[in-house]
Amino acid sequence: SHAAVVARQFGIPCVVGANAIKIDLEKRVMTIGETVIKEGEWISVDGTTGQVFVGKIPTIETKIEEQTDLLTLLTWADEIAARDGIRTMPDGSKSRGLQVWTNADYPKDAKRARSYGAVGIGLCRTEHMFFEPERLPIVQKMILAKTGEERTKQLDLLLPSQRKDFDGLFEAMDGYPVIIRLIDPPLHEFMPDEEKLFEEVITMRVKGETAGLAEKEALLVAIKSLHESNPMMG
């Protein structure tokens, strides 16, 4: 499941394919058999076993130093990979053998991966950096910009934080290769959900709330326009 891959990348415990779970959006409750969980109540998720527990269970961060069996296996693998002539290409040339690289979008991820023995970043997904709360509004303004000057202005605002992240990635990898994907997902993934935004606008109008209404209305019009003119908007 790609959902599980993405959740793991962000350090979020995830259970997929849980067909027994029934979610009632109107009542804001989740039912599993006879157990009912209301919105705001605590649950604890074991992403390894797929178990879900009612309540908040105390947790501790896993330390690789305590994984003795894993460390032993990795040591054996490193020793074998370091032997001359242990692997060759079909044409007889020397092979680097099997290497472990990592997916890392932030310096902290790269540092952790290096501590585990990764010898490269196979994929750094720039678009994940754009979803940070302080960056997403800038990205949205960039997408909605009507002129090249407006777009460049927003890109200039993104530059310092992006540069800082890339500097941190390169420093953490300390000379090991880093592969960067500039951007991949459809543009609509960076924008507020059109249906939810429409509901917010209607609710604000009904309640007579004016603060921020004009901005949301303009955003809604822009999103609708992009959906009609840009196939990448989904």
What are the DSSP E strand ranges found in the chain?
21-24, 29-32, 35-38, 43-46, 51-54, 102-103, 121-125, 178-181
Phi first, then psi: give them for residue 43, nearest 5 degrees. -135, 155
Sequence ranges of the domains in the chain:
2-54, 64-233
Give the CATH number of domain 64-233: 3.20.20.60
- pLDDT score of 233: 52
User: How confident is the model over 97-133, as pLDDT tens digits?
Assistant: 677 899 999 999 999 899 888 899 999 988 888 888 8
Predicted TM-score (pTM) above 0.75: no
- Higher-pLDDT residue of 15 and 230 is 15
User: How confident is the model over 165-178, as pLDDT tens digits?
Assistant: 999 999 999 999 99
| pLDDT above 60: residue 228 | no
**Domain 2-54 listed as CATH 1.10.3720.10:** no
Helices (H) and strands (E) in the chain, counts: 8, 8
Helix (H) / strand (E) containing 25? none
Helices (H), 97-212: 107-115, 126-130, 136-144, 148-173, 194-207
Is 32:41 a contact under the CB 8 Å cutoff?
A: no
**Short-list 101, 100, 103, 99, CA closest to 9:** 103
